[in-house]
Structure 1
């Protein structure tokens, strides 16, 4: 439908321009009567489709400045100002064409995102390779990714190394290195040698498919500012009609009224706001900040309070080994190897974190034998001929008939993973969800962007929350919250200022939904939080919010600036026309200049520089 609309606008512009030029040639040849006919012929199609658009708008309960354009063209034809009517037709059709072109330019980065959607994937089958439709890929399929190809679905790398260009998704300018076992995001481009991966999600459930759906929804949205502009348009329409009627009544010259109507058509209000906001969404997408709609972008520009969940936002969101307590003469390497080897048989997040850390250190892990898992407690089995126990300190202590936990210090928020080998306590792995290294700098940057109040809202215990956030300078720490209590906190804060809530879990979804702006961490986070959120960060770094907020505020400022300047110039031109200083043709040309200037100014949003970019030399 958008393509049909663009073609129609192009056709109407071609008709109007052709009519104007042919009529001018006839006028120069002294054929005034034929010239007037040709100008009228060029105007009628534009006027016809304009009236249809007005009828559709009225059916939706909307009244805009298209009415002024119809009145000005009709009045010019009625009072024998065919040349003025032809100029207005070119002006109006040119304005709508330019608006369409500008929005298309603003959406280019989003279209580039959509154009990277792969259509097929190369799958390993019976020792060979076959190209299959993307929809045929299932979790567990082993895929082959050639150099220059996009990762078709989310999955896990099973080659030694891969280099991926994620710039269209995350804004990262350099290819990133991924090692064996790393999680890969669909839509990233292979910037290195070919590699193998195992699909973890189908195409429809993968990151890229979700991004595409969000982009398509964002392109159809309207911001509150756009609806407010419609209300302003009604007032401006009333002023225009009153001024035109007054000029005619006071002077008795209907041409004065035509000139006033011409110079008010079309209004920068209906051009500047949508162009600036769509440009802002496109610019933010470049930094991995996917804004679902113009309304969300406009709301981001007004945020004063930020509420953060702890896990996955201020912290890494996955447990890591922070220290190793040893006993019985074992080394830290031996302890980790025994624990990781046995934990290969478990899907528990803590166990998987132990395995990941061992693999990151290059350990080759033996396959455990005779494994027995005690859900929520631990595992037992044999590793390299040794009996091994791994689990909570209490679980291992009970199996050994000893008191293990009392021998090791456990800091608030940490987890002890006890390891016993051949009936002897070998030691404990102390695990915790560490604070992100950039957390302090990130919060300082957000305060520089006008965020005056930053709060933590977490379901963890108060002692854990306070330990993790010590030194961050938060304005409040709310711990032990249930999902409904997070909602209550957001509602309470909204009474004082616009609130942005950031989270990544299913339990955060209700709070994200009630916030002025809900932000989901990472496109691979919980589906419920991404669905409820207004903004999705394509990388799990809260710091990406800063360029998003910068762009939102600049887009809103530029939109309002364009409106104010455009309306101001239009009003001055209307007054000049009412006093007879502008004839209809001059007024039409002047208004066209104003409209072009307004659109070009709105497109400046595409060149907004942010703190995430190096300063220009």
Structure 2
């Protein structure tokens, strides 16, 4: 199962890993209980340490005073609270259906007390309690970036109402409400800026510098106002805003265990059985119960069952920091296995919006006059191409005339009068209808392949062509090269556009195949065909890409400007309007997996060596406890390296 249930989930944000070496890698807390959970976490981490440390220190003091019997009693008393808390955690895990591997720690403390190895029991108790605190620290570090997103959720907003301002809960914000955003406020909903806004979008996109959003431009919820106060007109209710979706994604991000984590769970159970078996064998062969206790003490399955989830969650948190939202450990782990990339064109390889690239003029016309007349008439049209032409004229500072007697044929073009002249602007077929044959020949003149052509005629004569292109993103070539370095061996362009358009726009890119004229069903078939060869990552942004994103081993959506359906279907969302996040995400996924395996193999290898030494009598219980803690610390700290850039 792929973790594709980002939006619509109502589960609360996770807070930290469970404070025991259980087979569950990640816990999820109800939203209302987060603060109480954190307080309980601190108590359960610090209280056992205090008991064990006081007991150990007091016992040494008693022994120094020549009271060994009293020292043993004090050491035992210091262990009892730690053991009681441990047993409570084990029972709680068993009730959830988890076989807690803290059973080994409980057995080692209990056995040490039974054979009156009280110092060893006290050392194990202190080491175990400090290990819990280390787990809490590791979990907090691993989830810091994602919890930071949750902590920034706004609870209220200031709304204009009948000439006054009122503070309302964000749940009451409706589409069209005009909100006042003060300096330092987090935008509660997606909206349109009124005036000028200076926004910090770093928590969403990873962009370190503030961005300026001008009048009429869109602003994402979750951004922070770092400039003067401004008004925001709500475009979505709070529940459907970008930031609300991100929060729900974060809450769900660690619920699904990665395949590697589930594999570690199975191995961890086997490790526990092997530990108990080796302990019993050492006792049976040597006849010395101390050796059995020593084996239990030095056994440390934590590198196996804790290092994997810490590394995975650290990788997810690292990705969130740079504006890449990963929906769970399975998706992050799959990033390290991808070998084929299937990528959409419009809005993914390209910006998704046409722009004027060239103007071809007829005899007696200038480029600026052709653009001015076309833009003047296109002012009456809401077509995206018409608006792009008007925007190009505005960028050049051209003075547009007000058209009259206009008539628009949807999908074909517009005709009307501009400054007394009859003007037609639109497709070749629409404009050529009123031209003489000589001008029709000019109109049919070859234009660069892949360009969208807008023709212009004035008073029945050919005036010029406006050529438009959906330009490639500047980072496409570099991103594809980096993905190949990271192990991608095949890149396929999948688009619904004509083949000549796809070939022209992708010229110079390192593609293995171009699949054009595709409908959504064709894209799904293409993904399934490629999956038969190797693990596939599909990248897209439109509604028509959503089925293919689900079909792929890993779906990646351009979330900054993409459709909600594609974000819903994807396993990974790029919040930056840039492709380079794909390479960053793959690098993080590969590194996290590598670090997890390093921690597992090194930690379990050292533990196995120590257990054998203990079984042979070379490692007494007290020294075994110290070795066990050193192995745990090394494994966890190594797993936390996934938080840092590679």
- The answer to whether the superposition gives a TM-score over 0.5 is yes
Instruction: Assess if the C-alpha contact under 8 Å between 1:554 and 1:608 holds in 2.
Output: no
In structure 2, the residue matched to 1:173 is: 208
1:579 aligned to 2:616? yes
Given candidates 221, 245, 260, the residue that maps to 1:186 is 221
Residue 63 of structure 1 contacts residue 230 of structure 1 at CA under 8 Å; is this kept in 2?
no
Asked if the contact 2:428/2:443 (under 8 Å) is kept, the reply is no
Cα distance, 1:519 vs. partner? 0.5
Distance verdict in 2 for CA 1:348–1:45, change over 3 Å: farther
Structure 1 residue 425 displacement after superposition: 5.2
Mapped partners of 1:34, 1:341: distance in 2: 98
Which residue in the other structure is 1:153 paired with? 189
Deviation of residue 23 (structure 1)?
Answer: 3.9
Residues 164, 99 of structure 1: alpha-carbon distance in 2 compared, 3 angstrom cutoff: same
Partner of 1:615: none
Alpha-carbon displacement from aligned partner over 1:33-74 (angstroms, at most 9, x marks no partner): 454444444434433443344345445554352221122122
Question: Could you say what secondary structure the match of 1:486 adopts?
Answer: helix
Match in the other structure for 1:272:
307
Whether 2:497 is the aligned partner of 1:467: answer: no
Residue 602 of structure 1 is matched in structure 2 by: 639
1:234 equivalent to 2:269? Answer: yes
Equivalence for 1:321:
356
- Give me the whole-angstrom Cα distance separating, in 1, the residues matched to 2:500 and 2:351: 18
1:93 equivalent to 2:129? Answer yes
1:105 aligned partner:
141
For 1:372-397, what per-residue CA distance to the aligned partner results, in whole angstroms no more than 9, with x for missing partners? 54333334556677665443332344
Distance 2:380 2:543 in 1: 27
The one of 523, 534, 543 aligned to 1:506: 543
> Partners in 2 of 1:128 and 1:391 — Cα distance?
48
Structure 1 residues 62 and 607 mapped into 2: Cα distance closer, same or farther (>3 Å)?
same
SS at match of 1:111: helix
**Partner Cα distance (1:387, 1:143) in 2:** 45
Correspondence 1:303 to 2:335: no
- Report the CA distance shift for 1:23/1:358 in structure 2 as closer, same or farther (over 3 A): farther
Q: Distance in 2 between matches of 1:576 and 1:582?
A: 6
The gaps in structure 1 that reach 5 residues or longer are: 610-617
CA distance in 1, matches of 2:171, 2:402: 34
Indicate how the Cα distance of structure 1 residues 396 and 98 shifts in structure 2: closer, same or farther if over 3 A, else same.
same
1:310 and 1:50 mapped to 2: Cα distance? Answer: 55
SS in 2 for 1:219: coil
Mean Cα deviation higher: 51-60 or 464-473 = 51-60
Distance change (3 Å), C-alpha of 1:415 and 1:208 = same
Residue pair 1:64, 1:233 contacting (<8 A) in 2 also: no
CA distance in 2 between counterparts of 1:199 and 1:387 reads 41
Q: What are the within-5 Å matches in structure 2 for residues 396-415 of structure 1?
A: 396-398=431-433, 406-415=443-452
**1:388, 1:12 → 2: CA distance?**
85
Distance 1:535 1:87, change over 3 A: same
Aligned to 2:383: 348
Q: Distance in 2 between matches of 1:367 and 1:201?
A: 34
Counterpart check, 1:213 vs 2:257: no
Partners of 1:425 and 1:477 in 2: how far apart? 36
Residue by residue, what CA displacement relative to the aligned partner does 1:239-278 show, whole Å, maximum 9, x if unpaired? 2122111110111111100010010045311221111111
Counterpart among 47, 50, 54 of residue 86 in structure 2: 50
- Contact kept, 8 Å, 1:307 with 1:455, in 2: the verdict is yes
Instruction: Tell me what 1:3 maps to.
Output: 38
Cα distance change, pair 49–354 in 1 and its aligned pair in 2 (3 A): farther
Aligned length: 608
Deviation at 1:308, TM superposition (A): 0.8
List runs of 5+ in structure 2 lacking aligned partners: 1-28, 30-36
What secondary structure sits across from 1:581 in the alignment?
coil
How many Å separate the matches in 2 of 1:5 and 1:509?
Answer: 42
Which moved further from structure 2: 591-600 or 396-405? 396-405
- The counterpart of 1:431, out of the listed 451, 455, 468, is 468
TM-score (normalised: structure 1): 0.89
Q: Does structure 1 retain, via aligned residues, the 8 Å contact 2:82–2:129?
A: yes
Look up the SS of the partner of 1:233 in the other structure.
Answer: helix
Distance 2:407 2:156 in 1: 42
Larger deviation: 443-452 or 139-148? 139-148
Would the alpha carbon gap of residues 365 and 59 (structure 1) be closer, same or farther in structure 2, given more than 3 Å must change?
farther
> Could you tell me whether the CA contact under 8 Å between 1:416 and 1:428 is conserved in 2?
yes
Cα separation, partners in 2 of 1:371 and 1:215, compared to 1, 3 Å: farther
Q: How does 1:555-566 map to 2 (within 5 A)?
A: 555-566=592-603
Please tell me whether residue 395 in structure 1 is matched to residue 410 in structure 2. no
State whether structure 2 residue 555 is matched by structure 1 residue 518: yes
Taking the aligned partners of 2:77 and 2:401, their CA distance within structure 1 comes to 85
Could you tell me which residue of structure 2 aligns to residue 244 of structure 1? 279
Q: 1:394 to 1:71 in 2, by over 3 A?
A: same
Q: Which residue of 2 aligns with 1:164?
A: 199
The residue correspondences of 1:41-80 to structure 2 (distance < 5 A) are 41-58=77-94, 61-80=97-116
Q: CA deviation at 1:81?
A: 2.1
State the Cα deviation string for residues 385-414 of structure 1 (Å, max 9, x = none).
766544333234447798768445444333
CA apart distance, 1:105: 1.1
Distance in 2, matches of 1:32 and 1:409, equals 101
Question: How far apart are the structure 1 equivalents of 2:620 and 2:545?
Answer: 61
Q: CA deviation at 1:463?
A: 1.7
Q: State the Cα distance separating 1:331 from its structure 2 match.
A: 4.2
Cα distance in 1, alignment partners of residues 641 and 347 from structure 2? 35
* 3-state SS, counterpart of residue 253 of structure 2: helix
Q: How well do the aligned residues superpose, as a CA RMSD in angstroms?
A: 2.9
- The CA deviation at 1:459 is 1.7
- Counterpart in the other structure of 2:174: 138
Q: Is 1:523–1:539's contact at 8 Å kept on the other side of the alignment?
A: yes
Q: TM-score, normalised by structure 2?
A: 0.86
